[in-house]
Structure 1
Amino acid sequence: MIILIFYLMYITIFGIVIFKDKHPQVSSTYKEQHKVERFYGNEASQDRVILLEEKTFSGLARVNLMENAQESIDIAYYAIQKGYITDLFFGVILDAADRGVKVRILLDGIFHGFRFSLKDVQYALINHPNIEIKFYEPLNPLRPWTWNNRLHDKLLIIDHNYAVIGGRNIGNRYFIQESKKPPTNDRDVLLINTDPKTKEGSVLNQMEGYFNQVWDHPITKIPFDNLSSRQQKKAKKANQQLKQNLENLRKTDKKIFNNHYDWVKMSLPTKKITFIHNPIQRFNKEPWVWYDLTNLMKNSKMSIVIQSPYVIPTKPMLPYMDTLQVPPEKVTILTNSLAATANVVAYSGHIKHINGMVKKGLNIWEYQGPDSIHAKTFIFDDRFSAIGAFNMDSRSTFLNTESMVVIDSVEFTESLEKEMDQYFKKSLKVAKDESYIEDPNLKPGKVSWVKSFSVKGLSYITGLFQHLL
């Protein structure tokens, strides 16, 4: 009991308290090298873009890109969840590796999901000569200061020519309608380099450079040096099972495979696409992504639209927004309602900020469900769109690896706004008394007393460590 008490004190101090203060400011070097003007393009870029909004098509796009990969597949994800989609995803990866494609899989070291029944899938991937796996900051019970710096990126890079970035993890809820749990509405973009011979001018070059930095970083580790004979047997069995599942799917769900997509013809032009990301090291980071996003806010003159599954603007984040030119009534935030949210802990931090945002005159719209929204999106002056993994909270600002793309394209932004309108139609505007402004076409989502009580109760606890939400 004494050992347990000391251990709890130890992790409280070194896993929670030490992150509360000392939030680094963005260095003068970063500011000098990363001016807001770099997001602006003057002519047509070699990079084009496709919005992957609909769940099924986003999954089909990933399958198609990996099916047609010839040289390399680089994958970075926060979480892998057991289910149909994961079996499909890794079946296609193994198939590509069998063709000689070099595959690198980079996952968060705590939330990767390769445990229990998926452990054998991990063995199968490690056992393949053309596949490498690494974990960013694996779990170490004796070093609690390593628990909070998580890899939150969601990237897929194919053959140096295509890339997918957005908010989707790999799991059924992000790609199909489930019967057991309400699905999650998310958003990705497919980026296309139309001139592979001059890749230096493409955003894919920036993304590959970042992937390599994280892959080669000292805190990124391989899960096993060598598989034991027992693990190798499990690996072979899992390999056979994944391939058999893939073969069965090719017979029963033929529409998933061998599709012909003219990606360039389907895409929209851009003036420029720029990749932004956080630093990689431990402890509180310089808030590079937040700095870049708030610089775009400050440079906006007409409107700002933000979509985030929850909004937790902590005190260290606020100074970066102190000189906005856009008046509060022209700032719109779309987020989940209590009825819709799938993240009760984070939402318990969010509810403490709703009143303050409404009183400042911001337009707060809450999605009513029964499903939830998980996309992370910023729109500036109907011209620039930022899409990726960054949530509007302290964790994404100072702790996680995070990445987004900033797209300079009026055509793409118009397309994005049309898609986002479907969520606004299922959302209610928050009034100054925190009730909803009535809409004759939409009723507030139903909230169970258990969920309501849980969120309100948790808010008293999470209020003490909003810097970790």
Structure 2
Amino acid sequence: MGGRNTDNRFLGYYKESYNEDRDLLVYGEKPGQGSSFQALEAYFHEIWNQPCCKEFDAKGGIGGLEQCCERVKERYPEAFDRIYSKEDWEKATMETRGIELWTNPTEPENKEPVVWERMIAAMEGEEDILVQTPYMICSRKMYEDLRSVCEKGARVDIVINAVESGTNPFGCIDYLNQKKKICQTGVHIYEYLGDQAQHTKSLAVGEELSIIGSCNFDMRSVYLNTEMMLAVDCPELNASIREQARPLKEKSRHMSPDGRTEDGQNYEPREQDMAKRAVYALLRIVISPFRHVL
């Protein structure tokens, strides 16, 4: 489970630019018996059987997927040659107390924000919440939900891409326009400026719950897309996610709810080129009336 798209920035062989992602492997001792697996299989068939879906033969076609696979085999032969045993899988995974699949409705139309509402419900009552999302494009209701979580005593840290490194121009532009509203919710923003943009969609809620999958903190993911997230009850996984986020925060500019900013100890400012700044300045004006369709 994860949030990767099917192009070389996400599934390529990583010789040039790529996006950093988080993937989650669920291993069960009894094949096909896990409840989250059964839910995922049912969800797949529900989408596959939608009247709007059509089969498309991609053999030898889009993106050269077969050629890409061969290049990956050449670069990482050990991933394909080794036969993994039950003991190998157990060593590579963490025992959980429960896993649930959370999904949005599958109809190709505006949707009830099921995944978002379950994430907000999970956050309520917790004191320490860590969110990773590539960008934020929030509705008024989403801002209200985040404000409600913070007003109930939670410290909410959100790690997003800095505008200088973000690969979604509309997400970057909307963030520039919405900074004040984001601050007013009470969340802490960490503008991550690393070598590669992050594409991770995950939450560490409290000390036990982790939520990982494909749902961005944006209106398209919340109200339109067929997103899915795995909710995992596992303190060890939660701690691992928080530890992996620590160096990202150190390479970030921290914006507090009162608007103050502080550079992380490994944050290195980077200038945007003049052409990009000019385009962003123009688009900040142009997209304002249309941000709900971004």
* TMscore range, shorter length: 0.7 to 0.9
Deviation at 1:438, TM superposition (A): 3.6
Which of 57, 60, 81 does residue 258 from structure 1 map onto?
A: 81
Residue equivalent to 2:219: 394
CA contact (8 A) 1:167 1:187 kept: yes
1:222 corresponds to which letter in structure 2? Answer: E
Q: Label 1:339 to 1:249 Cα distance change in 2 as closer, same or farther (>3 A).
A: closer
Deviation at 1:431, TM superposition (A): 5.3
Which of 15, 18, 29 does residue 183 from structure 1 map onto?
A: 18
2:45 is the alignment partner of 1:209 = no
Deviation at 1:325, TM superposition (A): 6.3
Which of 267, 286, 292 does residue 118 from structure 2 map onto?
A: 292
Deviation at 1:356, TM superposition (A): 2.2
Q: State percent identity of aligned pairs.
A: 28
SS in 1 for 2:24: strand
Q: Label 1:351 to 1:271 Cα distance change in 2 as closer, same or farther (>3 A).
A: same
Residue equivalent to 1:461: 286
Q: Label 1:189 to 1:244 Cα distance change in 2 as closer, same or farther (>3 A).
A: closer
Residue equivalent to 2:2: 166
SS in 2 for 1:372: coil
Partners of 2:206 and 2:151 in 1: CA distance: 9
Partners of 1:373 and 1:193 in 2: CA distance: 29
CA contact (8 A) 1:297 1:304 kept: yes
> What stretches of structure 2 of length at least 5 have no aligned partner?
none
Partners of 1:334 and 1:313 in 2: CA distance: 15
- Report the TM-score when normalising by structure 2: 0.86
Which of 405, 410, 422 does residue 230 from structure 2 map onto?
A: 405
Q: Label 1:438 to 1:446 Cα distance change in 2 as closer, same or farther (>3 A).
A: same
Residue equivalent to 1:5: none
SS in 1 for 2:25: strand
Partners of 2:270 and 2:256 in 1: CA distance: 16
Matches within 5 A, 1:250-329: 254-261=77-84, 262-298=88-124, 300-321=125-146, 323-324=148-149
Matches within 5 A, 1:36-47: none
CA contact (8 A) 2:104 2:226 kept: yes
Partners of 1:249 and 1:186 in 2: CA distance: 17
Superposed CA offset, 1:408-464 (max 9, x none): 111111111111222112112125786741445422233222222222321222221
Q: Label 1:447 to 1:219 Cα distance change in 2 as closer, same or farther (>3 A).
A: same
Matches within 5 A, 1:375-454: 375-430=200-255, 436-439=261-264, 441-454=266-279
Q: Label 1:329 to 1:429 Cα distance change in 2 as closer, same or farther (>3 A).
A: farther
Partners of 1:243 and 1:363 in 2: CA distance: 43
SS in 2 for 1:269: coil
Partners of 1:178 and 1:242 in 2: CA distance: 16
Deviation at 1:313, TM superposition (A): 1.5
Deviation at 1:260, TM superposition (A): 3.7
Partners of 2:249 and 2:67 in 1: CA distance: 42
Partners of 2:178 and 2:71 in 1: CA distance: 49
CA contact (8 A) 1:302 1:326 kept: no
CA contact (8 A) 1:355 1:432 kept: no
Superposed CA offset, 1:98-156 (max 9, x none): xxxxxxxxxxxxxxxxxxxxxxxxxxxxxxxxxxxxxxxxxxxxxxxxxxxxxxxxxxx
CA contact (8 A) 2:202 2:212 kept: yes
Matches within 5 A, 1:125-204: 165-175=1-11, 176-179=13-16, 182-196=17-31, 199=33, 201-204=34-37
Matches within 5 A, 1:77-88: none
Deviation at 1:242, TM superposition (A): 7.8
Partners of 2:2 and 2:196 in 1: CA distance: 19
Superposed CA offset, 1:197-236 (max 9, x none): 7x1x521000001001001111111237xxxxxx9xxx6x
Partners of 1:445 and 1:245 in 2: CA distance: 33
SS in 2 for 1:317: helix
Partners of 2:168 and 2:67 in 1: CA distance: 35
Partners of 1:246 and 1:322 in 2: CA distance: 45
Deviation at 1:337, TM superposition (A): 0.6
Q: Label 1:252 to 1:280 Cα distance change in 2 as closer, same or farther (>3 A).
A: closer
Deviation at 1:291, TM superposition (A): 1.0
Q: Label 1:353 to 1:242 Cα distance change in 2 as closer, same or farther (>3 A).
A: closer
2:15 corresponds to which letter in structure 1? Answer: E
Superposed CA offset, 1:240-280 (max 9, x none): x9878877876675334212442222100111110011111
Deviation at 1:394, TM superposition (A): 0.6
2:245 corresponds to which letter in structure 1? Answer: M
Q: Label 1:283 to 1:243 Cα distance change in 2 as closer, same or farther (>3 A).
A: closer
1:313 corresponds to which letter in structure 2? Answer: C
Partners of 2:255 and 2:189 in 1: CA distance: 6
SS in 1 for 2:210: strand
Residue equivalent to 1:24: none
Q: Label 1:202 to 1:466 Cα distance change in 2 as closer, same or farther (>3 A).
A: same
CA contact (8 A) 1:328 1:360 kept: no
Partners of 1:287 and 1:252 in 2: CA distance: 41
Partners of 1:336 and 1:244 in 2: CA distance: 31
Larger Rg: 1
Q: Label 1:431 to 1:291 Cα distance change in 2 as closer, same or farther (>3 A).
A: closer
